[in-house]
Structure 1
Amino acid sequence: MPTPLTLLGRAEGWSALGEQVYLLALPLTAAQVLHASPAQVGLLVTAELLPVVLLSLPLGTWLEECSHRRVLVWGSALRGAVLAALPLAPLLGGLRLEGLYLVSFALGTLGLACTLARQSLLPDVVPPSALTEANGRLEVVRSGVEVVGPGVAGGLVTALGAPLALLGGVAAFLGSAVALGGLPEEPHRTRGMTRPAWQETREGLAFVWNHGLLQCHVLTAATLNLARGAFEAVFVLYLAREIGLGVISIGVVFTVGNVGFLVGAWAARSGTRLGTVLPATTPPAVLAPLLAGAGLLGVPLVGGLGGGNLIAVPLFALTLAVQGVGVVVWGIQHVSLRQALTPPALQSRVHASAGFLAGLPLPLGAWLGGLTAEHFGTSAALWGIGVTGLGACGWLLPAVGRARCRHLRGEAEG
């Protein structure tokens, strides 16, 4: 009989495949079927990201009163149902851009709820000492699908057209719901909130912000997200306009670079154990955001080398891979640490609060990146992005110093 972690891994793989399908097919449906402008397609992507900013905190509070298993099952099934509405839209009166915006927002909301529920459920499935390995195992599955998923999604779009290709996403999300249905029911911990919801939400925020170690981790994640948001806004433009790469070459850069996510997941799973707080506060934890920042800074460095596509394409792919390793290892460490330090009654609110605080800079970074590129050029913007990303690990240095002092003091006393 499959273990709960195995079932979560299967569900994560199906969900990741469903996401790869709609991330490609939704924008193509808008562009090819509804003839949407680039700005309208951008709004479609923004609608999917908005729930992180608008709904993380209330969702985290609500989830404290819910069965996380049921949220995962119904969340996956509803994602499939929402996607199924689009291929059926011509039978229901036609497909409209406003409908795509609503679908994108709904998918983002349901995806956020599933992520928070999974992070909150995992400490019930595995012991604290195995959290990092378990998160790494789930990330290996997700990263592997993200490497091959774009090709599967592209094949579906080519064979069926963008709207009908969404049926592949429907099937994937239903597969995830079936896998999650095999999970055992978690211990019943409904608390029955007696305080207003905003006070419950504030308790989760206060736990993150007043915990010195978690605060350092959230600030590091927020700084990385600020840099990554700006990077995603200008990188493709930089490759196409300043470097002169064609569409195929840019695709190769992303395909090869995405392998870094898989490598990072394997590294985090096999190289770290979170038995105590100390391993997540020592230099290896600083190395992950340092790698992510180095990958960002490597892009303008490679761009200044010249040498044509034969040199540029593999080097740009390498910078993306280095960035991916750092981002994934850091993300696994960060989530595992939160899970280990947070009391059961606060799990959902703490994950939601950390996600909210760390996710706020993403849209700000995208706006600042575009603004900087417009006024100073994409190359100058990328230098600023690289320096910002490299500086993210600076938030962790005081925590590392304190942890090392405690460790050395404990050895001396022993």
Structure 2
Amino acid sequence: MTDVASDSERLPGRGSLRPLVGVLAAMAVSLTGTRISVVALPWFVLVTTGSATQTGLVAFCEMTPYVVVKAFTGPLVDRIGPRAVSWTTDLATATAAAAVPLLHALGLLSFPLLLVLVALIGAGRGPSDLAKEVMVPEAAERGRVPLERATGLSGVTERLASTVGLAAGGSLVALLGPLTGLAVNAACFALGSVIIRIVLPRGTGCPVQEASSLAGAAAPRYWQRFGEGLAFLRGEPLLLVLIVMVAVTNLLDAAITSVLIPVWARESGQGAGAIGLMGSVMGAAAVGGSLIATAVAHRLRRRVVLLAGFLLAGAPRFLILAFDAPLGVVLAVFAVSGFGAGFLNPVLGAVLVERVPRRLLGRVNALGDSLAWAGIPLGGLMAGAAVTAVGLVPVLLVCGTAYFLTTNLAALRPEWREMDRTRGRGAAKPYPVKDSSKGGAGVVA
């Protein structure tokens, strides 16, 4: 019989780190594959079509299903259990990703078929990412690890995977071509599925039992669950302000990652190797920032940390590319931006996890993520069309200015004052852990 977790479940006095290690390992390999694809897929489209617009269209077709499917998966994750959702969707994603290099090698990969396959990849990644995020707090409790530390490690894992994945992606594309990178991406998702299915101990990531079910009443239906999550989110002004701000910055981040950097690398003659180098430098610095955030975030004022992090992580990247600086200067700026970015997800996620009850975590997390990521599909599409229309430099300048204004105007909102008062809301905490900070889940920067 399937184990069912509840808010009142009592765990053994001696915790086990195996669930947390397993979840973080699965996150690491799947995110590494995703970051390899970040380099390989746009470069593959650019070198085969020569079109920035089509490159943006591919990004749109991958991220739109990601956001939409993830938004409606939350109630299913709560009901079916994040473990089952994670390993099955990772396996489906691996299959779709492996089809791209295979069909190309057979001469059967048309551009419309590529769009269908990347849409399937995005549709699988959304639930998979959500399920792993939801399992982190439970794994932390089972290991008797303070949530501050566990979710900080989640953020470090995300940043480290970005560093390794982008570096590996750049190297694979430069040495063996983009299709090799796409094949490795598929292998990473398959490995992530195996880790969740086999390595995690029995009882981890099981469905959350509703209070009504415990009382003998019928379990709520899908749309009732979805409505509960939506109603809760609508009653949290702070979360809504953060989600809107991150939605805009994510749109701009998608623009620079999926289109602007590849176009810059091609026009400047730096090549795909520079894309991987820039990403790995930024990722390595972000790992350092995440480690520091894990150690000291609970002692800092969240509002100040969040604003400073966005100031470093945002506009400087766009502006340095616009001014045709040497590669060494570009790498230095990306390193500083990465360090600032390392502090963002631990703070953003801490606010989410502290304010959302355990039984609603899957559906609220799904809605929050999907709204925050809603602009990502449009980022690459709009950037590709804009670069084609007016050129690279004007688009970089506009995006950098928009990033700066968005984060600073959001910081003036009165809801931000609640960020430092969130600690201590014991009734809203999903787990009885003193320190709470989240990295890499919930609202994603």
> Structure 1-normalised TM-score?
0.79
Partner of 1:107: 121
| Aligned match for 1:79, one of 89, 93, 104 | 93
Match of 2:154 in 1: 138
Which residue does the alignment assign to 1:216?
A: 241
SS, match of residue 126 in structure 1 = helix
**Contact map agreement 1:63 1:348 (CA 8 A) in 2:** yes
Aligned to 2:293: 268
Which segment drifts farther, 161-170 or 110-119?
A: 161-170
**Which of residues 305, 309, 319 is equivalent to 1:287?**
305
Task: Decide which moves more: 49-58 or 379-388.
Answer: 379-388
Report the alpha carbon displacement of residue 15 of structure 1 after superposing the two structures with TM.
0.9
- Quote the offset at 1:138 in angstroms: 2.4
Distance 1:126 1:388, change over 3 A: same
Q: Deviations over 1:303-342 (max 9, x none)?
A: 79x7x84xx5444334333333333422222223322322
CA distance change for structure 1 residues 401 and 119 in 2, over 3 Å: closer, same or farther? Answer: closer
Alignment of 1:339 with 2:353, yes or no, is yes
Q: 1:282-312 CA deviation, whole Å, 9 max, x = no partner?
A: 73343223322244343577679x7x84xx5
Q: Is the 8 A contact 1:30 1:100 kept in 2?
A: no
3-state DSSP of counterpart to 1:65: helix
CA contact (8 A) 1:220 1:393 kept: yes
Q: CA deviation at 1:232?
A: 5.0
| 2:199 is the counterpart of 1:182 | yes
1:20 paired with 2:39, answer no
Deviation, structure 1 residue 210:
0.8
Measured after TM superposition, the shift of residue 63 of structure 1 is 1.8
SS at structure 1 position matched to 2:401: helix
Task: Tell me which residue corresponds to 1:259.
Answer: 284
Structure 1 SS opposite 2:118: helix
In the TM superposition, what is the alpha-carbon distance from 1:54 to its structure 2 partner?
Answer: 2.3
Structure 2: distance between partners of 1:188 and 1:402? 30
Partner AA of 2:240 in structure 1: Q
Please say if residues 77 and 174 of structure 1, whose CA atoms lie closer than 8 Å, have aligned partners that are also in contact. yes
| Residue in structure 2 matched with residue 56 of structure 1 by the alignment | 70
Whole-angstrom distance in 1 between the partners of 2:64 and 2:314: 25
Matches of 2:234 and 2:242, distance apart in 1: 10
CA contact (8 A) 2:134 2:361 kept: yes
Q: 2:402 aligns with which of 382, 385, 393?
A: 385
The equivalent residue for 1:153 is: 169
Letter in 1 for 2:65: P
In the alignment, the residues of structure 2 paired with residue 333 and residue 6 of structure 1 have an alpha-carbon distance, to the nearest angstrom, of 22
**2:436 aligned residue:** none
Distance (Å, rounded) in 1 between the aligned partners of 2:264 and 2:26: 35
User: SS at 2:314's partner residue?
Assistant: helix
Shift of 1:95: 2.0
Paired-residue identity, %:
22
User: Which segment drifts farther, 160-169 or 76-85?
Assistant: 160-169
Q: Residues 91 and 247 (structure 1 numbering): CA distance in 2 closer, same or farther, change over 3 Å?
A: closer
Cross-structure match for 2:7: none
d(CA) in 2 for partners of 1:379, 1:78: 36
Which residue in 2 is equivalent to 1:122? 136
Q: Deviations over 1:348-377 (max 9, x none)?
A: 110111112222234556677675993993
Q: CA deviation at 1:113?
A: 0.5
Indicate the larger mover: 316-325 or 345-354. Answer: 316-325
Secondary structure of 1:247's match? coil
Where does the alignment leave 5 or more consecutive residues of structure 1 unmatched?
A: 274-278, 408-414
Q: Which moved more, 1:366-375 or 1:6-15?
A: 366-375
Question: 1:26 is aligned with what amino acid?
Answer: L
- 1:229-262 Cα deviation digits (max 9, x unpaired): 5555885489679xx8541595454443333322
Answer yes or no: is the 8 Å Cα contact 2:82–2:207 preserved in 1: no
SS at match of 2:80: coil
Tell me the distance in 2 between the aligned counterparts of 1:406 and 1:14: 32
Match of 1:296 in 2: 314
Cα pair distance change 1:87/1:380, threshold 3 Å: closer
Change over 3 Å in CA distance of 1:346–1:26 after alignment to 2: same
Counterpart secondary structure, 1:94: coil
CA deviations over 1:22-66 (Å, ceiling 9, x no partner): 33333444455x646432222111111112442232112222211
Paired residue total: 393
Match of 2:231 in 1: 206
2: CA distance between counterparts of 1:85 and 1:256?
31
Mapped to 1, the partners of 2:127 and 2:407 lie a distance apart of: 31
Partner of 1:272, secondary structure, is helix
Q: Which moved more, 1:140-149 or 1:314-323?
A: 314-323
Partner of 1:10: 25
Q: Once superposed, what is the RMSD of the aligned Cα atoms?
A: 3.8
Do the aligned partners of 1:292 and 1:389 also contact (CA within 8 Å) in 2?
no
Report the alpha carbon displacement of residue 88 of structure 1 after superposing the two structures with TM: 3.5
Report deviation, 1:80.
Answer: 1.8
Q: CA deviation at 1:172?
A: 2.0
Post-superposition offset of 1:93:
7.6
Change beyond 3 A, Cα 1:2–1:78: farther
Q: Distance between the aligned counterparts of 1:326 and 1:230, measured in 2?
A: 19
CA distance in 2, matches of 1:388, 1:29: 34
Q: 1:295 to 1:209 in 2, by over 3 A?
A: same
C-alpha distance in 2, partners of 1:89/1:284?
Answer: 48
**How far apart in 1 are the matches of 2:170 and 2:313?**
27
Q: 1:199 to 1:92 in 2, by over 3 A?
A: farther
Letter in 2 for 1:111: R
For 1:411, the equivalent position in structure 2 comes to none
How far residue 17 of structure 1 moved from its aligned partner, in angstroms, is 2.4
